[in-house]
Amino acid sequence: MTIRLDGNVVRLEDVTAGGRSLEDVWMEEREDRMRVAVVDDHPIARRGIEQMLDAAGTFTIVASVGSASELLALALDPAPHVIIMDLYHDGDLPCLDAVTRAVVIARVLVISASGRAADVVGAIKAGASGYVTKNAEAQMFTAAVETVGSGGFAMSSQLADILQAGLAETAAQPNAGHDLSAREEEALGLIARGFTHAQAAKRMGVSKATVDTYIERIRSKLQVGNKAQLTGVALRRLGDRADPAQP
């Protein structure tokens, strides 16, 4: 590695400090930093996150991409300590399946403009180790990243109250023990919004037969029969995320 001083190129490995090259010292300092990957579909948002992490001086950004699929395709080695993931980085539905896939390789801190109970509960159930809204102060945000990367759980007291209330509400519902998978929740939300099975399949990137299977599992788990009952259950479970929309 080289640096330029007064027009002259200096090799870091040739500059020593206490018998050690500055390059060795610099590399060791970087290795001691927490490795972080950022997933957000908005480049400006990613840049803002990168700037906050850089300013903290204790993190190394190993990847900054627009989707979980892009991140997983990188097959980073070594893996990041923390993946900061925007909950709605792939459209108007929460990317709970992406959270589930990401937690296999690293701890996940979810960020979102949403503070709705359904989103907070869904993210935590999907395996996230923390949840921070995008209006959080920089100091709180970087502290949350540090906490999650160190094996802890990070969430503001306000969101913790929302999570507790959401979990209590879920536990009080009939058949609360019959949890739906992230993909089943996604299919349920689309059907409730008026999508046909074929349209939902196209939106989810799967076959119609797969969506048919999801819906059959949902009917069995929630003990509902016709589509009207299914839609009613979806509206109760998903709240305002199931508002009617054009497929």
Rounded Cα distance, 155 and 161, in Å: 10
124-166, pLDDT tens digit by residue?
Answer: 888 888 999 998 899 999 999 999 999 888 887 778 777 777 6
Mean pLDDT of 66-78: 93
The model's pLDDT over 171-227, given as tens digits with 9 standing for 90+, comes to 555 544 457 788 888 888 887 777 788 888 888 888 888 888 888 878 777 776 666
Q: What is the pLDDT of residue 10?
A: 47
pTM: 0.60
Per-residue confidence band for 240, with pLDDT thresholds at 50, 70 and 90:
very low
pLDDT of residue 223: 72
- 46 vs 247, which has greater pLDDT? 46
Tell me the domains of the chain and their CATH numbers. 33-169 (3.40.50.2300), 182-242 (1.10.10.10)
Q: How confident is the model at residue 77 (pLDDT cuts 50, 70, 90)?
A: very high
Q: What is the mean pLDDT of the chain?
A: 79
> Each residue of 35-53: pLDDT tens digit?
999 999 999 999 999 999 9
What pLDDT does 6 receive? 45
